[in-house]
Every structure is written in structure tokens, then in C-alpha cells.
Homo-oligomer: A and B are copies of this chain.
Amino acid sequence: MTIRVLVVEDEPLIADAHREYTERVAGFTVVGVAHSAREALAVLRAEPVDLVLLDLNLPDRHGLEVCRALRAAGSATDVLAVTSARDIAMVRAAVALGVTHYLLKPFTFAAFRDKLAAYARYRAHVQAAGEVAAQHEVDRVFAALRGGPAASLPKGLDAGTLDRVLAALRASVTPLSAAEVAGVTGTSRVTARRYLEHLAETGRVERASRYGGPGRPEVEYVIA
């Protein structure tokens, strides 16, 4: 179940770079490249596309106009906006048109990969179960939309420590509690928990409770 991507970008060189970036991310495949709004809409009418990598600065029309046309036609295709425009009003307009992710040019491959990964997580959520039972399940879907670049970690978190925590989780078949992760990584439980919670917030690990004996249940974490 790979995600079909359409790259929309007028600069041929940049378009090629975007295509290559996308192909480098597992689970994504580029099904077309368009260099104008007109071309983009033609492709979108012709074949199924899951995600549009949409440059907002196009020669014939504004990128958001493509988006608007999509919505008017009843399409629910998801859009990742790519632009060098620093205008907040643009962000707002994009959000209103259902743009789920927004990437400022120029960007590193890491930032790009993070956005695609966030989208993949969101997609997994909305494709999995057909029904939701409670509000917080909906909240979780929306939470999956916000992507956390590894580059700009929240204050108080260190990239190296994060790697160790992730490595510990990957090395274990069974879920691990915060205390167990602390034991493996050599950090304290408090620190391990800090990173595990961050990973849970950004959807990269799942939380569960370990019941059984008396006393408060232990929270266990496993890679999503």
C-alpha cells in the first residue's frame, strides 16, 4: 500500500529534486510531475493520487487555486504545501483549504522526510478502523497530523539521547517500560520517560498499560 504522490513544481531542477527526495522515503512513490497548475489538474483528473506535493508559486495560477479547484470538485486528496512565501496569511488560507502539512523552502531532506512520515502516520490512522468511539480517538487523529522534525526538538531534549532510546525500543521484541528503557540506555527513568513521552506525542511509539499485580500499572512503550 504505497502512497501515490504527485509533484507540482515549475522549476524543472527543483521538481526533479522533490521527486528524488520522495522516492527515497520508503512507502512513497511518485506517479507524476507537473510544472503548472493546468498540468497538475490534468494529472489529478487522470489518475488516482493520494498526496500532492504542491508548490504554491506556479506560473499560470497560484498553488492554492489548484487546491480550491480540487475541493470544489469533491476530491479529498491530501496536500503538502511547499513554498518560499513567509506570509502567515498564506498558512491560514492553506489550512482552510485542507492543506495538512506545510514546508518552507529551502528545506533539508531530513525536514522533508519528517513531513512525509507525519503524513504516513496520519494516513495509517484514518485508514485503519472504520469507526471511532470517543472524542479522544478523533483528537489522536488530529494529533497525528502535527509532525515533529528531528532537527528542531523541543527544549530539554537531546538528539543523541533520543537515538539511544529509539535503539533500545527497536532492539526489544516486547514492549518496554520507562524503567526498563532507563536500564538499557543507562539513563535515569525520568530522562527515559521524557523521551518516550515525546515519541508518543509525535506518534512514533505507542503507549499501553501493563496490569496484573497490585499497585499502579506500569506504562509500556512499543515502536508504532
Contact = CB atoms under 8 A, between A and B. Distances in A.
B104 A76 contact: no
How many monomers of this protein are in the complex? 2
A14 interface: no
Interface string A165-203: 011001000000000000001111001000000000000
B77 A96 contact: yes
A54 to B, nearest CB: 13
Contacts of A138: 91, 102-104
Contact of A151 (B135, B163, B217): B135
Interface string A75-96: 1111000000011110111011
Nearest to A138: B102
Contacts of A38: none
Nearest to A204: B134
Given A126-B88, A211-B187, A146 B149 contact: no
Contacts of A139: 146-150, 152
Contact of A78 (B71, B96, B148): B96
